[in-house]
Structure 1
């Protein structure tokens, strides 16, 4: 899938490409008021043996950007990936209602750290910047009935951690801690603005 967003601003020298079809990431990137296209990369997201959560998201963010470099040779390509971590356990996307409920029960009253990696690849030069931004959420103590109501209302089946922080999921939070709240949704804009500046792209 390929799409296009064109705010009222001139194109930068290198076109901006978001290596994701995620609506959440497109909405976040649109906040910067830069014109961009998006395309979905095709990569294997399987975790490698003994790979840490941070190494996993950094690698996948880079691979997503690199997967589109051949077909987009004069672009600044943004790749991003996110996992949720509960203790030593990585929480993936639940995909089913039952797994979403089980994830939230396990997270009840606990701190969950979201690790969101962002990569910016200049496909003209091969230069790639990558970083990982953590954000911690403490969930309220939740019973099964409340969790089932939430999952039925918002169906967060494609979200690591089984909630949508930009929606009703915020009602499940007791507190949050982190430098960049946009990282929780899936694209750390504060860090991305720094990366774009190093490529000569200024954000209004």
Structure 2
């Protein structure tokens, strides 16, 4: 009986040890940094890595004159580049420096406009913060406010319109590793009356990739 009791005790101890090990392993797998590659909770994106994305396949960037409206400017090409400046353990907030944001191949259906000569994003780099749970916020950097300059051809000649935003918010998705901006408000700060008073920016970028790593793996938000 004593031998049987000893074996039972050893068995219970082994079971408890295995259970604790499994639990620790599960906790370790769930842990990780805010930005990872290889999957949620995967390999941490290193500080200094460069992330980039173009418009998601089949989508276009829009700057509408009203929220959700159909009048405005549509761009077939757009991309951004950002450098990771901080990537703490999740849950937390990762930080980035947005160093480039381009929009091209643009057309317009604004009354009186005949074409879009250029769209330039000014005052880069911007600051960006990515929080666990799913939000990215872009704010002004040291160079000045978030600003975009539009040069639009009109029936009266070339018109320059300048717009500013206080901040921009996007929603990340781990389903397709994308970032979606919806109706982000820009307000006109200079330009003639032919420039709309507001612009509402919408675009979906993805997949977001870590171009500093071999194969440019896609990025997950944890």
| Higher normalized helix content (fraction of residues) | 1
Q: Which has the larger radius of gyration?
A: 2
TM range (shorter): under 0.3
- TM score, norm. by length of structure 1: 0.27
| Higher normalized strand content (fraction of residues) | 2
